[in-house]
Structure 1
């Protein structure tokens, strides 16, 4: 009988049973491409736009709309509003999508590791909240600067006086268009991030906000839009700050910051916000006389029924989007128009009230001594494996991957006889292959937490039903 060499032993190595990719849909491939390569796609689109603008002079008449503010009036030094602004909104949507991932990966991620955040989920949360602080700090500061140098600084009636404001300052216009781009990008981002308990509210919130910006821009009501955006942005700085402190291991500081957030939330979103809604109902009809406003500054009052009807005074929807359809034509105000805006704003207030319920739950946790916790987040469960650094400085989750090997039915353990020397060599090769596969992606950047392709497709709703 053949004797085995005592220097040999049986080792179980993971061997993946490869399954043939089955009829992958175009939507599935597209979702995977976008999620895994947000920076690459954004940079490539922007490079294509810039190169086309530089090397094809005949195309500049069209490409310039994607790069510059449109409708500049050299006589007044102001900018008008119109459909040519939409390409710039698309450009900034792409910029913000790529910029978000770049800031998260190359700035916030190192800071999170220095702050002692070691778990995979903790890093993802830290980076997401850190990006919100970066963006909202900039947008809120700029919005407050614009308001401070305006006629409607702590003057609600000033939001309506002088309407319609067909031309605005360039900085004001750029701020409003970028805010619009941010919420359009957020509609996609909320489906890329790990879904939370308030996913539906957040998704609807972004759609409502983008719709309000669209209509307010089309109806020359950017003043009231800016006031509302500033009220919304300030709390979105404070709450993520409390979360970051919690992820870094602090106990008392998150509760203090959360208390500041709670007061700010109540004042801005349930007091100031309601005052703005009341001003729309009460002040707007008196500050803006019912009638049709012509581009030369003359007004056709609603009392001139025939002429008012002829100019479209009773066509509510067409007037709401006048900046996109006929920017130099008459734009009419009817007191009943305010109910359309009030309906959207009050619907948004209902979403805020739902969030207030979640906030009350956090307050209860603090008062009961459990500490402030993010009630929006899913339970951490067993997904708190630490991120370890290997010899080359790359993040390794070897222990986590080993657990995946054991639990995944597609991995089949195979008995194989190997020598003692081969055992060490096999372990090294296994680790190297891991590093090579994790770093050998196509252009762009891999989103943290999206390494599992099946999990990613299920998250964004592109996975095929089994």
Structure 2
């Protein structure tokens, strides 16, 4: 009886998988039109329904009611301080950036990067697609890693771990920091979609877990006003992607010896950033945060911040639901951050075993190859 039941379940599972694949293909083929169409609709709705900005001195009412002014109001801009708060419009801003990244990625891959791959001698369509995917990642990280480093190097917490935890809570942050944090959040949310559109690798589940944990960490750091440590962790995580996508692109173009050299830089940056400096940051979360951040609760906006009670489970979720509501920080919240960070570290250790396997192959005289590609679900002709 059990064998018969298994036989009945297998066709049903295959049918569900086929339908999901068809939906993924449908979305992939329409990424450009769907993304930019939804962006246009959301911007039109924003122009109509976004909060009416206050008319500042010397500024015409028409200029103050422009789409740009409404977007700034949507981003919770404080004209008195020039800073930005966490606000209810942030979700819409993240959605806009997710759609923008999706549309730009699809357009760049289809219209620019894949044709370039073909022109440069990448014959197989599957390889041209992989080249385009990696080239897009290279473009993204060559914009956002320098942007993140610019913010970090110009900050008061540059090379000072203890300064990560002082002056909490800061209800308002500078525009570039808000733009960087929300754009990174949008990128990783979009990556959850991307890995379901690309051909699956054997570490698909691990990649999905990594992306979801990253989204959770960025969201929590933003809601709990810990963007300083968020900035540091993101530049540590992103630095390796200055080397890995470039190495893969060069491999598809046939520059294998340069690929091997870049792989060496990738390994050094991986170990230094993700297994040394990342763990130093985790130690600071464990040791410095409880000592330097008050175990307290506050509520109100930046100009009217006041102490609040630390009672009930609702205090853990309130920062996500009410930007001017109660925000609490203590050992329990710090431990939650630490658990998520260590979960990332555990996944990175698993990936490091893949890296070690590649190093062993190179030592044995082989070229650097991504061992995750060994069990893709199917092969293109």
TM norm structure 2: 0.84
Equivalent residue, structure 2, for 1:46: 39
Number of the residue aligned with 1:70: 75
1:251: how far off?
2.3
Instruction: Give the number of equivalent residue pairs.
Output: 350
CA positional deviation for 1:52: 4.3
Judged with a 3 Å threshold, the aligned counterparts in structure 2 of structure 1 residues 112 and 183 are, in CA distance, closer, same or farther, namely same
Change (3 A) 1:312 1:44: same
Q: State the match for 2:183 in structure 1.
A: 178
Q: Any idea what SS the aligned residue of 1:73 has?
A: coil
Rate the CA distance shift 1:264–1:32 in 2: closer, same or farther, 3 A. closer
Whole-Å separation in 2 of the counterparts to 1:314 and 1:121: 56
Q: Of 318, 327, 333, which aligns to 1:331? A: 327
Q: Matched residues in 2 for 1:52 and 1:228: separation?
A: 35
Equivalent residues of 1:313, 1:333 under 8 A apart: no
**Alignment partner, residue 388 of structure 1:** none
| Runs of 5+ consecutive residues of structure 2 not aligned to the other structure | 1-14, 53-66
- Which region of structure 1 is more displaced relative to structure 2, 330-339 or 238-247? 330-339
Contact 2:202 2:372 in 1 (8 A): yes
Q: Corresponding residue for 1:225? A: 230
Tell me how large the CA RMSD over aligned residues is. 2.8
Give the equivalent residue in structure 1 for 2:7: none
1:7 is matched with: none
In 2 relative to 1, CA 331–343 (structure 1 residues): closer, same or farther, beyond 3 Å?
same
Whether 1:119 aligns to 2:116 is no
Report Cα offsets for 1:369-427 as digits up to 9, x if no partner: 01100112136899565xxxxxxxxxxxxxxxxxxxxxxxxxxxxxxxxxxxxxxxxxx
What residue in structure 1 maps to residue 6 of structure 2? Answer: none
CA deviation after TM superposition for structure 1 residue 193, in Å: 0.3
Alignment of 1:342 onto 2:338: yes
- Which structure has more relative contact order (CA 8 Å, sep 6+)? It is 1
Q: Secondary structure at the match of 1:336?
A: helix
**1:272 corresponds to which of 277, 293, 304:** 277
What is the match of residue 102 of structure 2?
97
Quick check: 1:39–1:101 contact (8 Å CA) kept in 2? yes
The equivalent of 2:5 in structure 1 is none
User: Counterparts in 2 of 1:45-444, with a 5 A limit?
Assistant: 45-53=38-46, 57=48, 59-61=49-51, 67-68=71-72, 69-295=74-300, 300=307, 311-315=308-312, 318-378=314-374, 383=379, 385=381
Deviation at 1:48, TM superposition (A): 2.1
SS of match in other structure, 2:328 = strand
CA distance in 2, matches of 1:382, 1:170: 45
Check whether the contact 2:201–2:377 (CA below 8 A) recurs between aligned residues. Answer: no
Cα distance in 2, alignment partners of residues 379 and 81 from structure 1: 43
Of structures 1 and 2, the larger Rg is shown by: 1
Cα distance in 2 between the residues matched to 1:167 and 1:363: 46
So what's the TM-score if we normalise by structure 1?
0.70
Q: Does the 8 Å contact 1:293/1:332 carry over to 2?
A: yes
How many angstroms does 1:121 deviate by? Answer: 1.6
- 1:425 maps to none
Measured after TM superposition, the shift of residue 297 of structure 1 is: 7.2
Contact 1:218 1:320 in 2 (8 A): no
More strand by share: 1
Q: Secondary structure at the match of 1:293?
A: strand
> Unpaired runs of 5+ in structure 1?
1-21, 301-310, 386-466
C-alpha deviation, 1:314, in angstroms: 4.5
